[in-house]
Chains A and B, each alone.
Chain A
Amino acid sequence: MNQVLYIFIPLIAALFMPFFFKKIRSIHTGWFVLIVPVVLVAFYTTYIPSIAAGESFIGTIQWIPSLGISFVSYLDGLSLLFSLLITGIGALVVLYSIFYLDRTKEQLHNFYIYLLMFMSAMLGVVQSDHMITLYLFWELTSVSSFLLIGYWYNRDQSRFGALKSMMITVAGGMLMLGGFVLLSIMGGTFSIRELIGQAPELATNDTFIMALILILLGAFTKSAQFPFYIWLPDAMEAPTPVSAYLHSATMVKAGIYLVARFTPIFASSEVWIWLVSGIGLLTLMWGSFFAVKQTDLKAILAFSTVSQLGLIMSLLGVGAIAYHVEGAEDTVFKYAAFAAIFHLINHATFKGSLFMIAGIVDHETGTRDIRKLGGLMSIMPISFTIALIGGFSMAGVPLFNGFLSKEMFLTAMLAVKEFELFEFSTWGVLFPIFAWIASIFTFVYSFYFVFKTFSGKLKSDQLPHKPHEAPIGMLISPAILAVLVIVIFFIPNLITDTFVKPAVTAIQPFLYNNPNEVDIHVAAWHGVNTELLMTIGIFVIGLLLYFTLAKWQKVYKVFPAKFSLNRLYDFVINVLFDSWMDSLSKSYMTGSNRRYLSYMFTAFAMLVIGTLFIKDAFVVSFESASPIHVYQIILIIALIIGTITTVFAKSRITSIVALGAVGYTVSLFFVIFNAPDLALTQLVIETISVALFLLAFYHLPKFQKAEERTRFKFGRAFVSIAVGVMVTLVALSSHSQKLIPSIADYYKDTVYSLAGGGNIVNVILVDYRGFDTLFEITVLAIAGMAIYGMIKLRMSKKGGKL
């Protein structure tokens, strides 16, 4: 079976979920769903040995061959690691959701369809080698995430959060598509692998930086980096399994994946290194600082996710420095990418379990407000143990995997100041300082999360439910993750050899050809060095800050909510888009016919007159003009008088009669210009028209009969004069420059010999150009029918019948 098809298995399975939900009511639909990720985990596990040995696998399904678009599944160290995370955590989350969501009260089929859709999309994102299909899956993750956040769609907050995340991630996705297209134009291919091969040539391109920034914007919006992180806390309105899956372990790491995947292409650029490491570090600081402010369990975790993603991002940025260092495999920069991937795995384990614990607390007590919680330690001992493991790992305490990756993080950050390019020797010293401060806050909020919830006094009067320990099924998934947290600490090198090294090979292909060449050995004990001292500092200051929390938490009140990024978002959406844009369009879309006509004709006249003069097309020639006779002048005067009367007549009846006079004058013109048929038709038609006008006039409702003279208005006069000038200019210059002779001679010569007629106009109408006449008849017929219909048929106002 083609490797690509495995991406679509969840999507195909999703088709059957409504059937299971509707027909097999006695069994929770989740059990059927669970099969899918479990099978996929088993499948992807079989790849581990060969990929750890440095191989890669590729499968292709053509989609639009003529445009060179295909689904390509490329499995190397990086994409296999992500695929295993997606399916592995996916399986645990589905298991957890079986106990979290009620079989009878929830719309389970919706939930699992969205979830499976998301799983497919995510697998597609991490495996696609073709940038267009990567983008396709990327947007599918946005859409399915939108659906999942808005799962409880009758809550206002859910809809708001769903819309916000959609707006931000889709905006980023669009920009990313722009970057992809630029890259493909530069490199002539959509394949990422081929683009990596030609990275040095790409860097010399003019649009290289633009593509870089656009793709980074896509990655930053998805991975909730500063300042785009604002959607993530609002996405916490989703059911907790969704938060655990999408917003901690998988989707938010799509941006991380993208940065890691494109590092070989963009790492040569200074902009890339600065942006990725700088924004990452800023996000790390910002997220960890504001996490302590939150009172909602999930909001704390959301900010902590933001901050941890920033950590991984900054490590990837520093990892890109390795491209600029001679013999990087001997320097400490090689740690950065390694630490990034290692921390990614660790974060997925501990953050997944913490989210599940938050969900359990919510489920069993009915609230997630940390101010109402406390003292659950003795009631929920298992949950407490798991939360403790996750929290300590997040804080970076020894005996848990977070400690290992945090040590490596500090190592990498300390190395930055030794780098002598791109002004890092000046500013690089800030990196370890910021990293250290952020780590202190991370420590504080980890303790804040665990101990404010589980220790202290039980406030049973404030809790909606009587708290008790969660059912065992709900605890299985977080327990597995918590066990992993500890296992990884004790056997880190097994994990790194299997997963991290192949991934690092994919990120830094210029450094290593084979995972075995990555000679990093993770050890918990390095001896006494700077990192260890920094860690001890983190613990000491962190504990101090935690115990004095009540005193300094007021600091957050200094930051007014008015200037927050959320307010900015609300301003853009509500004021800028809704209100300002609305009033802008209302200001010109007044519904007034005259306005629209004025716009149209002004534009029309300006364009034509402007073009005439810009192109220097205005010519007047008197050569071919025919002589002027006195009776023509008299007719013209009559016409002008008639027209002026029509326009300025006080009463409508004068206007109509004057219009009739103009029509008869026109037919007299036809007489003197040798057009007898026209004169005849014009006379008859003018008579009928005037009769019709009089009919319409007669039926005016009474109260409107108070007639007023049309008021003179400057704007109206201006538009009319412009149109008149335009017509005159066009008439003059087109008369003065005839490019080709008339074909009239052909008609004159052949009217009798070919058509057997004497009246040339009539013969043209019915013989040479008979089709015109046919459809002119049709027009008359349609007008007649329409008039009949209008008068005879009407919807009666009451009955609505014809």
Chain B
Amino acid sequence: MEIVMAFVCGFLFMAAMYLILSRSLLRIIIGTGLLSHGAHLLILTMGSFGGSAPPVLADGVTDYVDPLPQALILTAIVISFGVTAFFLVLAYRAYHELKTDDMTLMKGSEHDE
């Protein structure tokens, strides 16, 4: 399973990269969303899927899955949410101020040209 998941993560990263390199700001943010999904799944996969019970103490169970990657992912989900939310509002403001979401038009000041 881990082998298959490695390919799935690679696929998610690939798709995310493709979106991040696009012109539209919104697509870039969608790309970062995909990227964080890929990263979270990667962390989980690297922790290995050994164990058959969720990491909650229960009588008579010893075969818990690794809880540490889950704790890490939980933190990562919240942080990536915070950042994504900020990015979205940033994009929203950029629409308002610049009247465009085309990245090729958002290039520095005229002095840089």
Chain A contact residues, CB within 8 Å of chain B = 590-594, 597-598, 601, 620, 622, 624-629, 632, 636, 639-640, 643-644, 646-647, 652, 655-656, 659, 662-663, 666, 669-670, 673-678, 681-682, 685, 688-689, 692-693, 695-697, 699-701, 703-704, 710, 716-717, 719-721, 723-729, 731-732, 734-735, 738, 742-744, 747-748, 751-752, 757-761, 764-765, 769, 772-773, 776, 779-780, 782-784, 786-787, 790-791
Residues of chain A lying within 8 A (CB to CB) of residue B55: 674-675, 748, 759-761
Residues of chain A lying within 8 A (CB to CB) of residue B81: 685, 688-689, 780
The answer on a CB contact under 8 Å between A594 and B23 is yes
The answer on a CB contact under 8 Å between B57 and A752 is yes
The smallest C-beta distance from B95 to any residue of chain A, in angstroms, reads 6
Main secondary structure of the interface of B (DSSP, over half): helix
Given A628-B1, A674-B65, the answer on whether A776 and B38 have CB atoms closer than 8 Å is: no
The smallest C-beta distance from B98 to any residue of chain A, in angstroms, reads 9
Q: When chains A and B are docked, how far (Å) is the Cα of A786 from the Cα of B77?
A: 19
The answer on a CB contact under 8 Å between B30 and A742 is no
Residues of chain A lying within 8 A (CB to CB) of residue B49: 626, 673
Q: When chains A and B are docked, how far (Å) is the Cα of A784 from the Cα of B96?
A: 20
Given A723-B13, A758-B56, the answer on whether A717 and B79 have CB atoms closer than 8 Å is: no
Residues of chain B lying within 8 A (CB to CB) of residue A757: 57
Cβ proximity bits B18-62 to A, threshold 8 Å, 1 near / 0 not: 111111101101100110011011101111111111111100000
The answer on a CB contact under 8 Å between B9 and A731 is yes
* 22 chain-A/chain-B pairs, Cβ below 8 angstroms: A597-B20, A640-B11, A643-B12, A647-B15, A655-B30, A659-B30, A663-B37, A670-B44, A681-B78, A692-B88, A696-B26, A696-B92, A716-B18, A717-B18, A724-B14, A727-B9, A731-B9, A731-B42, A761-B71, A765-B74, A779-B78, A791-B93
Residues of chain A lying within 8 A (CB to CB) of residue B21: 594, 597-598, 716, 719-720
The answer on a CB contact under 8 Å between B64 and A693 is no
Partner of B8, one of A636, A717, A721, A735: A636
The answer on a CB contact under 8 Å between A646 and B19 is yes
Partner of A728, one of B9, B17, B34, B104: B9
The answer on a CB contact under 8 Å between B108 and A591 is yes
The answer on a CB contact under 8 Å between B8 and A639 is yes
The answer on a CB contact under 8 Å between B26 and A697 is yes
The smallest C-beta distance from A777 to any residue of chain B, in angstroms, reads 8
Given A666-B37, A674-B54, A685-B81, the answer on whether A656 and B30 have CB atoms closer than 8 Å is: yes
Residues of chain B lying within 8 A (CB to CB) of residue A655: 26-27, 30
The answer on a CB contact under 8 Å between B84 and A727 is no
Given A591-B112, A692-B88, A747-B68, the answer on whether A779 and B8 have CB atoms closer than 8 Å is: no
How many chain B residues have a CB neighbour from A under 8 Å? 86
Given A591-B107, A673-B44, A724-B13, the answer on whether A776 and B78 have CB atoms closer than 8 Å is: yes
The smallest C-beta distance from B40 to any residue of chain A, in angstroms, reads 7
Residues of chain A lying within 8 A (CB to CB) of residue B89: 692, 696, 786-787, 790-791
The smallest C-beta distance from B14 to any residue of chain A, in angstroms, reads 3
Residues of chain A lying within 8 A (CB to CB) of residue B29: 693, 696
The smallest C-beta distance from B20 to any residue of chain A, in angstroms, reads 6
Q: A699-B96, A752-B57, A765-B74 are in contact. List 13 more A-B contacts (CB 8 A).
A: A592-B103, A625-B1, A659-B30, A662-B34, A673-B44, A676-B56, A704-B99, A721-B14, A735-B6, A742-B47, A744-B67, A780-B82, A783-B85
The answer on a CB contact under 8 Å between A693 and B96 is no
Residues of chain A lying within 8 A (CB to CB) of residue B40: 666
The answer on a CB contact under 8 Å between A760 and B15 is no
Q: When chains A and B are docked, how far (Å) is the Cα of A724 from the Cα of B38?
A: 10
The answer on a CB contact under 8 Å between B45 and A735 is yes
Q: When chains A and B are docked, how far (Å) is the Cα of A629 from the Cα of B15?
A: 25
The smallest C-beta distance from B88 to any residue of chain A, in angstroms, reads 5
The answer on a CB contact under 8 Å between A625 and B3 is yes
Q: When chains A and B are docked, how far (Å) is the Cα of A65 from the Cα of B72?
A: 51
Residues of chain A lying within 8 A (CB to CB) of residue B64: 744, 748, 760
The answer on a CB contact under 8 Å between A772 and B75 is yes
Residues of chain A lying within 8 A (CB to CB) of residue B93: 790-791
9 cross-chain pairs, A with B, having the tightest CB-CB distances, nearest first: A724-B14, A728-B10, A783-B82, A731-B6, A720-B17, A591-B107, A760-B55, A758-B57, A760-B67
Q: When chains A and B are docked, how far (Å) is the Cα of A685 from the Cα of B20?
A: 21
The answer on a CB contact under 8 Å between A695 and B88 is yes
Residues of chain B lying within 8 A (CB to CB) of residue A726: 10, 13
The answer on a CB contact under 8 Å between A701 and B100 is yes
Given A598-B21, A663-B33, A678-B70, the answer on whether A593 and B26 have CB atoms closer than 8 Å is: no
Residues of chain B lying within 8 A (CB to CB) of residue A639: 8, 12
Residues of chain B lying within 8 A (CB to CB) of residue A704: 95, 99-102
The smallest C-beta distance from B43 to any residue of chain A, in angstroms, reads 10
Residues of chain B lying within 8 A (CB to CB) of residue A728: 6-7, 9-10
The smallest C-beta distance from A643 to any residue of chain B, in angstroms, reads 5
Residues of chain B lying within 8 A (CB to CB) of residue A626: 1-2, 48-50
Q: When chains A and B are docked, how far (Å) is the Cα of A787 from the Cα of B38?
A: 26
Residues of chain A lying within 8 A (CB to CB) of residue B18: 647, 716-717, 720
Given A669-B41, A693-B30, A710-B22, the answer on whether A731 and B10 have CB atoms closer than 8 Å is: yes
The answer on a CB contact under 8 Å between A675 and B44 is yes
Task: Name the residue on A nearest B99 (C-beta).
Answer: A701
Given A598-B21, A779-B82, the answer on whether A678 and B73 have CB atoms closer than 8 Å is: yes
Q: When chains A and B are docked, how far (Å) is the Cα of A735 from the Cα of B47?
A: 8
Q: When chains A and B are docked, how far (Å) is the Cα of A509 from the Cα of B51?
A: 86
Q: When chains A and B are docked, how far (Å) is the Cα of A670 from the Cα of B76?
A: 14
The smallest C-beta distance from B77 to any residue of chain A, in angstroms, reads 5
Residues of chain A lying within 8 A (CB to CB) of residue B66: 742, 744
The smallest C-beta distance from B107 to any residue of chain A, in angstroms, reads 4
Residues of chain B lying within 8 A (CB to CB) of residue A644: 15
The answer on a CB contact under 8 Å between A636 and B4 is yes
Task: Name the residue on A nearest B20 (C-beta).
Answer: A597
The answer on a CB contact under 8 Å between B70 and A761 is yes
The answer on a CB contact under 8 Å between A693 and B88 is yes
The smallest C-beta distance from A187 to any residue of chain B, in angstroms, reads 50
Residues of chain A lying within 8 A (CB to CB) of residue B101: 700, 704
The smallest C-beta distance from B41 to any residue of chain A, in angstroms, reads 6
The smallest C-beta distance from B91 to any residue of chain A, in angstroms, reads 5
The smallest C-beta distance from A235 to any residue of chain B, in angstroms, reads 34
The smallest C-beta distance from A387 to any residue of chain B, in angstroms, reads 54
Partner of A727, one of B10, B78, B108: B10
Q: When chains A and B are docked, how far (Å) is the Cα of A613 from the Cα of B54?
A: 37
Given A693-B88, A780-B82, the answer on whether A624 and B107 have CB atoms closer than 8 Å is: no
Q: When chains A and B are docked, how far (Å) is the Cα of A256 from the Cα of B44?
A: 72
Partner of B68, one of A591, A594, A744: A744
Task: Name the residue on B nearest A712 (C-beta).
Answer: B18
Residues of chain B lying within 8 A (CB to CB) of residue A769: 71
The answer on a CB contact under 8 Å between A727 and B30 is no
Task: Name the residue on B nearest A625 (C-beta).
Answer: B2
